[in-house]
Structure 1
Amino acid sequence: MISLLKNVNLYNPNPMGIKDVLVAGGKIADIFDVSDNGHHNIPDNWPVEVIDFNGAYLVPGFIDSHAHITGGGGEAGFSTQVPPVSLSEFTQVGVTTVVGLLGTDDTTRSIANLISKVYGLREEGMSAYCWTGGYHYPLTTLMGSAKADITFLEPVIGIGEFAISDHRSSQPTFEEVIKLASEAHVAGLLTGKAGIIHFHLGDGERRLELIERAISETEIPARVFNPTHVNRNKPLFEDSCKLLAHGCYIDITAFPEGTAEPGLEACDAIEIAVKKGLPLDKITVSSDGGGCLPCFDQQGELQHMDFGRASTLLETLQATLRKNIALESILPMFTSNVATLLRLHSKGKIVRNNDADMLVLNNKFEITDVMIKGRWHKRDNTTVVSGTFE
């Protein structure tokens, strides 16, 4: 498929003005200034699909670095295991690349099952990767160690989500944490992959103590330590913001509306970061799609539960824009910042030779079209590609 997307208001994710974008072979072949004739020297015999978007926004596809693609949950019995997430639950809301993981249940779920789901999503047309391990130490792995999984299994890019400051964690020691961080870092050096450890943060009073100590007492680079759910309570978010000065990336969770208490809605956390003048290029946003979002009392008893949905990424973007924060300040948190952290070099930006993963947004910032690697998955508000069993 060769497509010419005409008259798009391009954010790459920086604002570039009205452009024409040529897509060929699943890649962004060229980006043109709008000209009078509009042909851009494209041969007349090329079978080009030409679409005039009349000034609609064209932005990079979302990269969701934290999703339970095989289903999460199970913390209130086997009947509370969340089902696997289907293709369109990601693609129709703008997620063009996803990174899957295991959480609390790294016993009945396995890395083998996780990787097979990654391959399945790839066969259905989207880009997918995964973390190895889960909440607990020793890690759940396929090849006996995290280092081996990252080195020899192409979809595996790091360790995650490894739980700290949470009653569901394995209560890891400092020595165990830095051993895993070292494995992730060295495997990343060997392979060119992300090589990071993606930390689940609970509501425990120790918060980021293990990460802070690792940064100050070891030679492991700060970027290796990547905490998520940092907006789950206000003191944790305040401490997490301090990590940015050391070179850490922090990951805000786009909780479903009304479920963030006692923490911060993702849009509010982003607003605080903008107003404080924090390094926004070190902040990412993920959905926890397919994951269980339980609320426990002081004794660890489940009070109520919800589950994560990839749609919260778009909802967060829209809610943050309503706070009069510029689109170019927000978009990188869903796109280029994630790609940089994860070393996904052909993702996250609309530039020549990158993968053609792009979203078209109308003037209400609703997604009307989704393209993944040059193929339409959603076109003019209609689903074009569905998962095998949808």
Structure 2
Amino acid sequence: MTTTLIRNADVYAPEPLGRHDLLLGGGKVLWIGTDAPDLPAAFGAQVMDLAGRRLVPGLIDGHVHVTGGGGEAGFASRVPAPTLSRYTRSGVTTVVGLLGTDDVARSTRELVAHVNALREEGLSAWGYAGGYHLPPATVTGSVRADLAFIDCLIGVGELAISDHRSSQPTLDELLRIASDAHVAGLMTGKAGLLHLHLGDGPRGLDLVRRALDQSELPPRVFNPTHVNRRKALFDEAIELARRGCSIDITAFPVDEGEDAWSAADALVRYLDSGAPRDRVTISSDAGGCLPCFDAQGRVCSMDVGHSGALVDTLRELLARGIALQDALPAFTSNVAGLLRLPGKGSIAVGADADLVALDATGAVTDVFAGGQLHLRDGAVLRRGTFESQDT
């Protein structure tokens, strides 16, 4: 068992705790205090002095194309799967994988395999059954059975609405899928969410509002993402958060003058709105294609999402004067609470030893995932199985 004593950390758990020492062992935080004793040499503890750097929970990226995304512009536009250190260099220690537009050539079986591979490499990883389309892509033929019998699958998504690439689901179809996710969550203790991809169509979140108005399903089941892609859509999303939904902001690039909010702008607007602070999360769409379409629905340009957008957004928020303890929950504790991931999203005795040290600018310097050191002073110590040293 690897044991590490971290000294002189300025801990944000995500609430500020001040200067503390921490003892890690067995993948957990074993002790937190203000004056750690010298441990006997026979104990074999690795000692690491952070010299006052801020120590925060490992970031949770709740929307990642772990198999790679894309495919809207032909097979050559399929995005490769991100490698392990692409996450850890960005301070991400937990990912939730999903399928997008391509839920045919890419399958739920492949998704589960990639999730398990990341677990073997030291990352915490889960996934969603399904993809953009109906009927949802599954392993067993049923999303309820997938969630009941496949450990790593915790919900359904990303089902597309208000998008020309979607299956154009009706209200009844949406409710049936949401019900399956909810009941499976009740059976298993998993999140049981319906994670909804939002396109830029004019219907916006109307289908979700109707689902809340016309069914008995709890609002938390409906979890729309990409809600900052249009400014009016974001206003709709804030109102859904007031009704009990959790909304997910995407950290994608936004050009000046574009009818969208950057992730930093969106979070500031959300916090200023007075909506419940625990009902907003930020994800990266890592590994996914970020396409632009012409009037005929053809791809005219594309970019690729990356987990580094999370820490970039966090650094922008800090540079704008947002307190770290106000910004952090959207990347950590809010995500863990929504997805029902015990031991994640906070720094506490008994919690998983997923920890990230930040320098004065908010850049990632050191990363522990499951108590194992992946990054030290910015240098990658652990790489994925097929990563080259130049990756």
TM-score by length of 1: 0.97
- Looking at structure 2, the residues matched to 310 and 54 of structure 1 have their Cα atoms a distance apart, in angstroms, of 27
Note the C-alpha offset of 1:183.
Answer: 0.3
2:254–2:261 Cα contact (<8 Å) kept: no
The 5-angstrom pairing of residues 15-54 of structure 1 reads 15-33=16-34, 35=35, 38-39=36-37, 42=39, 45-54=42-51
Aligned length: 386
Distance change (3 Å), C-alpha of 1:339 and 1:389: same
Q: Which residue of 2 aligns with 1:374?
A: 371
- Looking at structure 1, the residues matched to 40 and 27 of structure 2 have their Cα atoms a distance apart, in angstroms, of 19
- Looking at structure 2, the residues matched to 258 and 46 of structure 1 have their Cα atoms a distance apart, in angstroms, of 54
- Looking at structure 1, the residues matched to 9 and 206 of structure 2 have their Cα atoms a distance apart, in angstroms, of 46
* Correspondence 1:185 to 2:186: no
Match of 1:233 among 205, 230, 234: 230
* Correspondence 1:63 to 2:60: yes
- Looking at structure 2, the residues matched to 87 and 20 of structure 1 have their Cα atoms a distance apart, in angstroms, of 28
Distance change (3 Å), C-alpha of 1:260 and 1:53: farther
Match of 1:83 among 80, 83, 91: 80
Q: Which residue of 1 aligns with 2:381?
A: 384
- Looking at structure 1, the residues matched to 258 and 77 of structure 2 have their Cα atoms a distance apart, in angstroms, of 22
- Looking at structure 2, the residues matched to 280 and 322 of structure 1 have their Cα atoms a distance apart, in angstroms, of 20
Note the C-alpha offset of 1:262.
Answer: 2.5
1:58–1:361 Cα contact (<8 Å) kept: yes
- SS of alignment partner, residue 150 of structure 1: helix
CA RMSD of aligned residues (A): 1.2
- SS of alignment partner, residue 363 of structure 1: coil
TM-score by length of 2: 0.97
1:71-120 deviations in Å (ceiling 9; x for gaps): 10010111100011111111111110001100000011100001000111
Between stretches 299-308 and 259-268, larger displacement belongs to 259-268
Q: Which residue of 2 aligns with 1:126?
A: 123
* Correspondence 1:154 to 2:128: no
- Matched letter for residue 8 of structure 2: N
- Looking at structure 2, the residues matched to 319 and 131 of structure 1 have their Cα atoms a distance apart, in angstroms, of 30
Q: Which residue of 2 aligns with 1:347?
A: 344
Note the C-alpha offset of 1:44.
Answer: 5.5
1:194-223 deviations in Å (ceiling 9; x for gaps): 000000000111111111111111110000
Between stretches 320-329 and 126-135, larger displacement belongs to 320-329
- Looking at structure 2, the residues matched to 260 and 169 of structure 1 have their Cα atoms a distance apart, in angstroms, of 27
* Correspondence 1:199 to 2:183: no
- Looking at structure 1, the residues matched to 383 and 179 of structure 2 have their Cα atoms a distance apart, in angstroms, of 40
* Correspondence 1:98 to 2:98: no
- SS of alignment partner, residue 45 of structure 1: helix
- Matched letter for residue 13 of structure 1: P
Q: Which residue of 2 aligns with 1:270?
A: 267
Unaligned runs of 5+ residues in structure 1 are none
Note the C-alpha offset of 1:298.
Answer: 2.7
